[in-house]
């Protein structure tokens, strides 16, 4: 048991800190730190700046741009990035389809997609959830029927985050209706400019349009765009969703958001109740961060640490709790969330209500917190 980072890891952390604060434009980092929305161009610019430094996809295989770091180093990379206000590389590219293609894709697919995926030359969207297949993903109904060398896709996906920016979409489709439901699922890569693909935005409670429905009407997809084997989609989906031990909880960003409140709402820090709420949240975040460190420090032997399932559950709860505190600190000023830009209310206060509402999603996506409890009670506690 030892708390200090090794000399190597300290130098690594310093190097990350230096790179993130010098290579990613200040305007982009300020936008993130102040909780404002990034444009598509800003997200692309940031990821390309990281990629130029070899820091966009460090967890990929080395031959495709990965870095062969330890889990602890990846953790430090992830934390320092959030601390500096650098947007995390687009998850659909860096954490989802990239590792999937590297693991399951054909050589042709790797050559065609991986470099562009790392550099965000291709913006990937995720086509998993459907109106009747949320937590019960295996009951999805979008079909792909073989026609010559092609697949013909029909159906509807939903909750496709940032699908309005998407160039390509990786989808789970049903290629066989005769077998057990998990066994009939395959993964198809679909060009979103193909005829028959339609993206319809969904307005959310915060007034934003970050998720979409994606409709497929007789979309013809060349056969070489199926990843792995027909019927192998469920295995790939499990790999994709269970791929992460590092960065499961947005600890750094939530810590940063809480610390920022001490500056933006400085005039309320005489209130002992406010101080107590901040102190309690800081402590909760410390416990979460230490748990994340225990998980990454332990996983060098390849076995996942059971506590990793705690991170998603608790991480989202704390992320939401900080947004609640922000909203309470903003008070009446938060009503001006949709006022014109020349509103006399402060920007941070005006953003609190939409942020609070938006972050309710955090305990729903990526395996809802009820699914996480199910995983803990079944897999860890054996109940």
Q: How many residues bind other proteins (CB under 8 A)?
A: 50
Which of 192, 253, 313, 321 lies at the binding interface for other proteins (CB under 8 A)?
A: 313
Taken as a whole, the chain contains a residue count of 383
CB atoms within 10 A of CB 214: 24
Region 344-373 residues binding other proteins, contact defined as CB under 8 A: 370, 372-373
The interface region with other proteins, picked from 27-35, 159-167, 210-218, 273-281 by CB under 8 A, is 273-281
Pairing of strands 168-174, 124-127: parallel
Q: Which residues of 221-236 are buried (b: 16+ CB within 10 A; e: fewer)?
A: beeebbbbebbbbbbb
By CB under 8 A, residue 205 contacts other proteins? no
Q: Find tokens 């042709």 and name the residue.
A: 108
Catalytic residue among 80, 130, 210, 244: 244
By CB under 8 A, residue 280 contacts other proteins? yes
Kindly tell me which of 43 and 313 has the beta carbon lying closer to other proteins: 313
Rounded distance, CA 52 to CA 58, Å?
12
User: Is 4 designated active site?
Assistant: no
By CB under 8 A, residue 78 contacts other proteins? no
Rounded distance, CA 199 to CA 166, Å?
9
Burial of 324 (0-12, 13-18, 19+ CB in 10 A): middle
The interface region with other proteins, picked from 15-23, 144-152, 307-315, 350-358 by CB under 8 A, is 307-315
Kindly tell me which of 242 and 306 has the beta carbon lying closer to other proteins: 306
By CB under 8 A, residue 269 contacts other proteins? yes
**Under 8 Å between Cβ of 130 and 181:** no
Which of 22, 177, 217, 283 lies at the binding interface for other proteins (CB under 8 A)?
A: 283
**Under 8 Å between Cβ of 102 and 189:** no
| Interface contacts to other proteins, rule CB under 8 A | 1-6, 9, 72, 83, 255-256, 259, 262, 269, 272, 275-276, 278-280, 282-291, 293-294, 297-298, 306-307, 310, 313-314, 370, 372-374, 376-378, 380-383
Residues that are catalytic:
244
């Amino acid at each position: 048991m030892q708390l200090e980072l090794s000399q190597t890891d300290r130098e690594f952390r310093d190097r990350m800190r230096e790179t993130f604060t010098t290579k990613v434009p200040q305007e982009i980092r300020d936008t993130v730190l102040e909780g404002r929305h990034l444009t598509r161009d800003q997200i692309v610019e940031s990821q390309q700046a990281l990629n130029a430094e070899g820091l966009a996809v460090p967890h990929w295989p080395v031959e495709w741009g990965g870095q062969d770091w330890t889990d602890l180093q990846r953790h430090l990379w992830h934390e320092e990035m959030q601390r500096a206000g650098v947007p995390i590389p687009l998850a659909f590219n860096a954490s989802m389809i990239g590792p999937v293609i590297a693991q399951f894709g054909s050589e042709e697919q790797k050559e065609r997609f991986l470099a562009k995926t790392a550099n965000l030359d291709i913006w990937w969207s995720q086509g998993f959830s459907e109106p009747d297949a949320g937590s019960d993903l295996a009951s999805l109904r979008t079909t792909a029927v073989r026609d010559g060398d092609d697949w013909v896709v029909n159906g509807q996906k939903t909750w496709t985050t940032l699908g309005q920016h998407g160039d390509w979409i990786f989808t789970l489709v049903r290629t066989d209706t005769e077998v057990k439901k998990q066994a009939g699922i395959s993964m198809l890569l679909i060009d979103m400019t193909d005829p028959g693909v339609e993206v319809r935005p969904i307005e959310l409670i915060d007034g934003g349009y970050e998720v979409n429905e994606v409709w497929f009407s007789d979309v013809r997809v060349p056969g070489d765009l199926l990843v792995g084997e027909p019927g192998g989609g469920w295995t790939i989906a499990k790999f994709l969703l269970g791929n992460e031990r590092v960065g499961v909880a947005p600890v750094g960003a939530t810590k940063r958001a809480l610390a920022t409140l001490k500056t933006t709402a400085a005039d309320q820090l005489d209130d002992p109740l406010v101080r107590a709420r901040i102190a309690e949240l800081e402590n909760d975040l410390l416990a979460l961060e230490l748990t994340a460190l225990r998980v990454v420090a332990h996983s060098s032997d390849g076995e996942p640490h059971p506590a990793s399932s705690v991170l998603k559950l608790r991480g989202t709860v704390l992320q939401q709790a900080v947004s609640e505190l922000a909203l309470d600190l903003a008070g009446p000023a938060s009503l001006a969330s949709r006022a014109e830009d020349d509103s006399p209310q402060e920007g941070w206060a005006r953003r609190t209500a939409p942020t609070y509402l938006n972050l309710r999603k955090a305990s729903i996506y990526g395996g809802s917190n009820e699914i996480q409890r199910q995983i803990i009670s079944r897999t860890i506690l054996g109940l």
